[in-house]
Amino acid sequence: MVHYIEGNVKLVENFCKKYLPQVKPLRPQASYLVWLDCRGLGLTQKALNNLFINKAHLALNDGETFGKEGRGFMRLNVGTSRIILQRALEQLRGAIEEIQK
């Protein structure tokens, strides 16, 4: 299972590097939760939540719930199938492309 989760982390890293360079995933130390540093999008936390929830239709943990240091971050659970994770990343990509038009 650890090997599968590692593959999911690499999927997120590679996807962001290729398609979402303004989103920087932070490799988890001992879990299946990847922090996404979204500060490169230049959005307020409210706008960031709107992007994820209403545009990308994704329910991630809002980084600000963990304190002010979490502003600009979202927490992604990669403990899922690759198909679901890939779909979520594509939804995020589409939403970001939409707001950048």
Q: Map out the domains of the chain as residue ranges.
A: 2-99
Q: What percent of the chain has pLDDT over 70?
A: 100
pLDDT of residue 101: 84
Tell me the mean pLDDT in the region 63-90. 96
pLDDT of residue 29: 87
User: What CATH number matches the domain at 2-99, 3.30.360.10, 3.40.50.300, 3.90.1150.10, 3.30.420.40?
Assistant: 3.90.1150.10
Q: How many CB atoms lie within 10 A of CB 68?
A: 8
Average pLDDT taken over every residue of the chain: 96
Which run of H or of E encompasses 88?
helix 82-99
Tell me the mean pLDDT in the region 85-90. 98
Q: Tens of pLDDT along 24-67?
A: 999 998 889 999 999 999 999 999 999 999 999 999 999 999 99
Helix (H, G, I), strand (E, B) or coil at 51: helix
In whole angstroms, how far apart are CA 97 and each of 33, 45, 47, 61, 91? 24, 18, 15, 21, 10
Q: What angle do CA 41, 21, 76 make, to 5 degrees?
A: 75
